[in-house]
Amino acid sequence: MNQFSIALAGKGGVGKTTLCGMLVRYLVGKGKKPVLAVDADPNSNLNEVLGLTISTTLGRAREEMKKGQVPSGMTKDVFIEMKMEEAIAEADGYDLVVMGQPEGSGCYCAANSLLSRFLEKLTENYSFLVMDNEAGMEHISRLTTKNVDVLLIVSDPSRRAIQAAGRIGRLAKELNIGAAKTYLVVNQVKGPLSEAALSVIREEGLTLIGTVPEDPLIYDYDFAGRPTLTLPEESPAVKAAFAIFDGIVPA
């Protein structure tokens, strides 16, 4: 199965996970199914954006394996595969798997190696892969071996956030994740970007693909505990995000 992968990265507070949820909604709505959403941010909350309940994470499987909590008579391979199946939250048109918190001290090489193998096996069943990453993107470098078709770096309009986006772009090259295309999305904007912001974007060597306006509805949904996946289609943020996705997702 030919797969198209999109990874999102950005520093905390820029709305990256909300945009990731919108991307999952966009893909499912366009019939680009099945979709696998991977929450690789230690501050895992993509499930809340999507309105899904998570029973376990792959991080817990790593911990259990490292601590020798594999049941007697069960191989580590079978144990990891079983835990991966438990960690998949199924929804209409897409599934979600959560990587979980960072590991504790000690070597997790064996567990990470097994997870990498089974994660690759899992992703082969999906047409589209969407991965929500922390700014450091360690999971892209360690737990996936496939190249990324599109890396979306999310920023807000502030100078510091755009500079952080530039560092993420450079880190992606250093990690050699093989991103075919890398774009900047500036989120939470109030009107057109200032010339000062555009200047910083140029200085950082980033390619701006679009902006998403600040939308009070997103904050309302967040405080009410409502999944932002269910934002109305007339939401300015949804409209702007979908227009951006039109430009990166193959027809």
Closest CA to 227 of 46, 9, 104, 76: 46
What's the CATH number of domain 4-246, 3.40.50.2300, 3.40.50.620, 3.10.20.30, 3.40.50.300?
A: 3.40.50.300
Q: Sketch the domain layout of the chain as residue ranges.
A: 4-246
The backbone torsions φ and ψ at residue 90, rounded to the nearest 5 degrees and listed phi first, read -95, 140
**Separation of alpha carbons 155 and 165, rounded Å:** 6
Q: Identify which of 13, 150, 32 has the alpha carbon closest to the alpha carbon of residue 94.
A: 32
Joined together, the tokens standing for residue 177 give 């994740």
State the Cα–Cα distance between residues 118 and 115, nearest whole angstrom.
5
Q: Give me the sheet containing 128-133, strands edge to edge.
A: 88-90, 94-98, 35-40, 128-133, 4-9, 150-155, 181-189, 208-213
Q: How far is CA 60 from CA 16, 36, 68, 87, 227, in A?
A: 24, 20, 12, 10, 25
The stretches in the chain having pLDDT less than 70 are: 1, 101-116, 135-146
Is the distance from CB of 47 to CB of 96 less than 8 angstroms? yes
Whole-model pTM over 0.85? yes
